[in-house]
């Protein structure tokens, strides 16, 4: 963002979300949007995290619970599939891990500095006790 002096302000105090022409935002996916510099999408809250969620594709059933309950739009879902996590905007709250219904969980919290490959290698195996009670709706 361009630095403004003490008396500088956007004209009309209007903060624009987008710079270019956008026809229909409701159907334009985030990666195709012409974000303006005043959209918070261009900022990051990654330094809020102490623990980060990591995603193991192997166990994921694409139920999308993590997508609907993520407060920070950080679960990336494309074509009804869970694709990954947006680590620029994830605050590390851990809701996605709590709502994950698979056994073992396909999302787990790890310390921020943890290497992803190492985490995937030590992923817990399926528990013997059948406790796979999938939550309704």
Partner 1 sequence: MSEMKKIKNLKEFSTSADRFEGANLLCPGCAHSIIVREVLNATNDDLILAASTGCLEVCTAVYPYTSWDASWIHIGFENGSSAVAGAEAMYKALKTKGRLKQPDRTPKFVAFGGDGATYDIGFQWISGCFERGHNMMYVCLDNEVYANTGGQRSSSTPIGASATTTPAGRVSYGEKRNKKDMMAIMAAHGAPYVAQVAPNKWKDMVAKIQKGFEAEGPVYINAMSACTTEWKFAPEDTIAISDLATDSLVFPLYEIIDGTKLNITYRPKNIIPVRDYLGAQGRFKHLFTKQNEYLIDEWQARIDKQWDYLQRREEASV
User: Measured from the CB atom, is 50 or 121 closer to partner 1?
Assistant: 50
Round to whole Å and give the CA distance between 108 and 33: 30
First-to-last C-alpha distance (Å) of the chain: 42
User: Measured from the CB atom, is 14 or 121 closer to partner 1?
Assistant: 14
CB of 104 to partner 1, least distance (A): 17
Residue 39 engages partner 1 in binding (rule: CB under 8 A): yes
Which residues on adjacent β-strands are paired with residue 75? 85
Which residues on adjacent β-strands are paired with residue 84? 76
CB 119 within 8 A of CB 111: no
What residues line the site for partner 1 (CB under 8 A)?
1, 10, 15-18, 24-30, 33, 37-45, 48, 62-65, 67-74, 77, 79-80, 86, 88-95, 97-99, 137
């Amino acid at each position: 963002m361009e630095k403004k002096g003490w008396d500088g302000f956007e004209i009309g105090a209007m903060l624009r979300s987008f710079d270019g022409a956008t026809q229909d935002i409701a159907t334009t996916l985030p990666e195709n949007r012409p974000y303006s510099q005043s959209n918070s999408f261009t900022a990051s809250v990654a330094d809020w995290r102490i623990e980060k969620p990591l995603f193991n594709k192997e166990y994921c059933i694409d139920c999308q619970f993590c997508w609907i309950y993520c407060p920070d739009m950080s679960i990336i879902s494309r074509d009804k599939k869970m694709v990954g996590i947006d680590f620029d905007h994830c605050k590390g709250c851990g809701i996605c891990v709590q709502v994950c219904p698979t056994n073992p969980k396909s999302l787990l919290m790890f310390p921020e500095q943890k290497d992803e490959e190492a985490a995937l290698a030590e992923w817990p195996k399926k528990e013997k006790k059948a406790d796979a009670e999938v939550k309704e709706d």
